[in-house]
């Protein structure tokens, strides 16, 4: 039994960035991580399905997980954009865009976000199609993308320790019950405050296993992105453009459901209104060598060197539906005795319409940038579940305050995407880190 100022569950991007910020204020932080600490540059291992099982209804749910210090930041592409004000407003974000701006700046500083050059062919295509093209913004450490292993806290995390449940009484958490995988023994870690940063489904599991009131309230409103992916195969003789690791990559915003549309007040951009809430953006990157992407089988063997691939991923904003939620199964437990999650994920008619628009937009943009004789091949259908950007599950304002403070337990906060009412119309992690830093600022004040 050890005692700390703050006990943080999960050493992914959110947990590590938050733990660094708390340590900077003088807090003594225990960062609890289920997985090991891998050597820099090591491949993230497959998740052990016996230890971390789950079921999904309505077909499969491709649940991206990394059980190691760094979490999914070991896989991520680093795309880091702020959500526009209309995206925050439409989702019912608990704080204004002006308040978020301060925390976005702090998050960009914390991980070192920089902007790459805009590829001229992307600029030309965007102008021709009258859409907005933004250069790739991402955090760089030298010429590689930042991961949570670059934080100080990553080095100090207590690894191989699975958080099972919070003990609590009279509206306060008193200890975190964990399983030490190295000894097989139970450990109880005490803190004055607790932060859950285990990612939405795992945080739901901890809250439900802990029987935090209101019972059965956590896990609803699960959201994620829908993704339509294409690869443009071109026969080219030039090498990929120079200009650093972000060259050739851009985010395209077609402006669908843009400012004013569907929000309160005046419709300022009715031309882009669609019969669904939410918008989407398209990530463009390339040209890449086919063997760098592992898709060399898409052309005859002797032609691999003569071809290049440009990737187009459209990311669409899915809103909560009563048919998307997480619950725990009583008849299915994992190797640690925990109830396994069941993930319910179903598509709505709105999602089908947005998916069709996303496909059309990718094809239009691909056609515009394509060299003569290229092939555009679809490889992810937008109606396949699981984009690695899950959110929601504890976002309702009756469950948490606007800093992620749990209403039921006065010394517990949530710093992962569980409290985000939407994954947004673009990559969510910068927004997630802005939230985590806001949580980190609230805790020392609350402890005082
Ligand atoms: C292939 C891929 C590419 C992506 N690219 C981008 C991108 O370019 N831009 C972007 O914005 N987002 C991207 N994302 C999303 C991004 O990776 C996530 O939003 C972000 O990493 C989430 O961080 P997190 O700390 O909240 O969660 P996680 O990274 O999932 O970390 C949670 C941590 O908690 C630990 N944990 C879980 N349960 C327990 C427990 N019970 N006890 C102890 N520890 C526990 C886990 O082992 C893990 O280390 C991508 C995701 C994927 C899968």
CATH number at residue 152: 3.50.50.60
Asked if residues 313 and 282 have their Cβ atoms less than 8 Å apart, the reply is yes
Q: Is 390 in the pocket of ligand 1 (CB under 6 A)?
A: no
Distance of alpha carbon 22 from alpha carbon 20, whole angstroms: 5
Q: Is 76 in the pocket of ligand 1 (CB under 6 A)?
A: yes
Q: Is 83 in the pocket of ligand 1 (CB under 6 A)?
A: no
Residue identifier of the C-alpha nearest atom 13 of ligand 1? 76
Residue 445 has pLDDT above 50, yes or no: yes
What tokens does 41 get?
Answer: 């540059």
Pairing of strands 29-32, 2-9: parallel
Q: Is 17 in the pocket of ligand 1 (CB under 6 A)?
A: no
Q: 43, 80, 198: which to mutate for ligand 1, most atoms within 8 A of CB?
A: 198
Ligand 1 centroid distance, CA of 219 (Å): 18
Q: Is 444 in the pocket of ligand 1 (CB under 6 A)?
A: no
Asked if residues 196 and 416 have their Cβ atoms less than 8 Å apart, the reply is yes
Residue 263 has pLDDT above 60, yes or no: no
Atom of ligand 1 nearest to the CA of 164: 41
Ligand 1 centroid distance, CA of 336 (Å): 21
Q: 20, 32, 33, 72: which to mutate for ligand 1, most atoms within 8 A of CB?
A: 72
Residue 271 has pLDDT above 90, yes or no: no
Q: What pLDDT does residue 243 have?
A: 76
The pLDDT of 105-124, averaged and rounded, is 96
Length of the chain: 448
Ligand 1 centroid distance, CA of 300 (Å): 37
Domain count across the chain:
1
Q: Is 145 in the pocket of ligand 1 (CB under 6 A)?
A: no
Portion of the chain with pLDDT greater than 90, in percent:
83
Q: Is 157 in the pocket of ligand 1 (CB under 6 A)?
A: no
Q: What pLDDT does residue 244 have?
A: 87
Ligand 1 centroid distance, CA of 63 (Å): 11
What tokens does 169 get?
Answer: 């009484």
Q: Is 12 in the pocket of ligand 1 (CB under 6 A)?
A: yes
Q: Is 78 in the pocket of ligand 1 (CB under 6 A)?
A: yes
Ligand 1 centroid distance, CA of 121 (Å): 33
Mind listing the pLDDT tens digit for each residue in 126-179? Answer: 999 999 999 999 999 999 999 999 999 999 999 999 999 999 999 999 999 999
Ligand 1 centroid distance, CA of 232 (Å): 28
Residue identifier of the C-alpha nearest atom 50 of ligand 1? 76
pTM: 0.97
CA 402 to centroid of chain Cα atoms: 19
Q: Is 304 helix (H, G, I), strand (E, B) or coil?
A: helix
Residue numbers of the domain that contains 243:
2-447
Residue identifier of the C-alpha nearest atom 6 of ligand 1? 76
Q: What pLDDT does residue 41 have?
A: 85
Q: Is 420 in the pocket of ligand 1 (CB under 6 A)?
A: no
Q: What pLDDT does residue 266 have?
A: 46
Question: Considering all CA atoms of the chain, what is the largest pairwise distance in Å, rounded to the nearest integer?
Answer: 70
Q: Is 75 in the pocket of ligand 1 (CB under 6 A)?
A: yes
Task: Grade residue 216 by pLDDT with cuts at 50, 70 and 90.
Answer: confident
Atom of ligand 1 nearest to the CA of 415: 26
Q: Could you say which DSSP state residue 8 is in?
A: E
The residue to which tokens 């896990």 are assigned = 219
Portion of the chain with pLDDT greater than 70, in percent:
95
Residue 255 has pLDDT above 60, yes or no: yes
Residue 295 has pLDDT above 70, yes or no: yes
Distance of alpha carbon 219 from alpha carbon 424, whole angstroms: 19
What are residue 362's phi and psi, to 5 degrees?
-65, -45
Q: Is 197 in the pocket of ligand 1 (CB under 6 A)?
A: yes
Task: Grade residue 241 by pLDDT with cuts at 50, 70 and 90.
Answer: low
Atom of ligand 1 nearest to the CA of 14: 25
Q: Is 338 in the pocket of ligand 1 (CB under 6 A)?
A: no
Atom of ligand 1 nearest to the CA of 73: 21
What tokens does 407 get?
Answer: 């209403």
> Each residue of 17-34: b (16+ CB within 10 Å) or e?
bbbbbbbeeebebbbbbb
């Amino acid at each position: 039994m050890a005692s700390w100022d703050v006990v943080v569950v999960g050493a992914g991007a959110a947990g590590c960035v938050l733990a660094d910020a708390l340590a900077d204020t003088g807090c003594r932080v225990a960062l609890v991580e289920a997985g090991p600490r891998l050597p820099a540059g090591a491949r993230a291992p497959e998740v052990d399905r016996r230890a971390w099982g789950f079921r999904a209804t309505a077909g499969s749910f491709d649940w991206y997980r990394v059980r190691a210090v760094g979490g999914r930041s070991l896989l991520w592409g680093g795309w880091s954009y702020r959500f526009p004000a209309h995206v925050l407003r439409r989702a019912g974000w608990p704080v204004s865009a002006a308040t978020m701006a301060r925390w976005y700046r702090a998050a960009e500083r914390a991980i070192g976000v920089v902007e790459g050059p805009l590829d001229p062919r992307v600029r030309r295509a965007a102008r021709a199609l009258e859409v907005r093209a933004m250069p790739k913004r991402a955090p760089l450490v030298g010429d590689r993308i930042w991961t949570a292993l670059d934080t100080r806290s990553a080095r100090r995390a207590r690894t191989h320790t699975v958080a099972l449940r919070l003990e609590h009484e009279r509206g306060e958490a008193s200890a975190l019950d964990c399983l030490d995988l190295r000894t097989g023994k139970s450990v109880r870690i005490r803190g004055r405050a607790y932060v859950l940063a285990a990612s939405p489904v795992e945080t739901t599991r901890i809250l439900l296993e802990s029987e935090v009131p209101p019972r059965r309230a956590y896990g609803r409103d699960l959201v994620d992105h829908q993704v339509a992916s294409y690869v443009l195969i071109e026969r080219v003789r030039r090498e990929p453009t120079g200009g650093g690791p972000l060259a050739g990559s851009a985010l395209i915003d077609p402006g669908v459901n843009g400012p004013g549309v569907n929000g309160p007040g005046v419709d300022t951009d009715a031309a882009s209104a669609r019969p669904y809430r939410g918008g989407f953006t398209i990530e463009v990157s390339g040209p890449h060598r086919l063997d760098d992407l592992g898709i060399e089988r898409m052309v005859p063997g002797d032609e691999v060197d003569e071809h290049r691939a440009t990737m187009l991923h459209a990311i669409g904003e899915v809103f909560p539906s009563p048919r998307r939620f997480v619950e725990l199964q009583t008849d299915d437990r994992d190797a640690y005795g925990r109830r396994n999650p069941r993930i319910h994920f179903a598509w709505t008619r709105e999602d089908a319409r947005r998916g069709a628009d996303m496909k059309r937009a990718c094809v239009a943009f691909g056609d515009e940038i394509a060299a003569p004789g290229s092939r555009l091949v679809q490889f992810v259908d937008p109606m396949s579940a699981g984009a690695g950007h899950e959110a929601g599950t504890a976002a309702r304002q009756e469950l948490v305050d606007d800093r992620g403070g749990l209403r039921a337990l006065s010394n517990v906060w949530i710093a992962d995407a569980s409290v985000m009412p939407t994954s947004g119309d673009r990559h969510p992690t910068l927004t997630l880190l802005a939230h985590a830093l806001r949580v980190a600022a609230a805790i020392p004040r609350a402890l005082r």
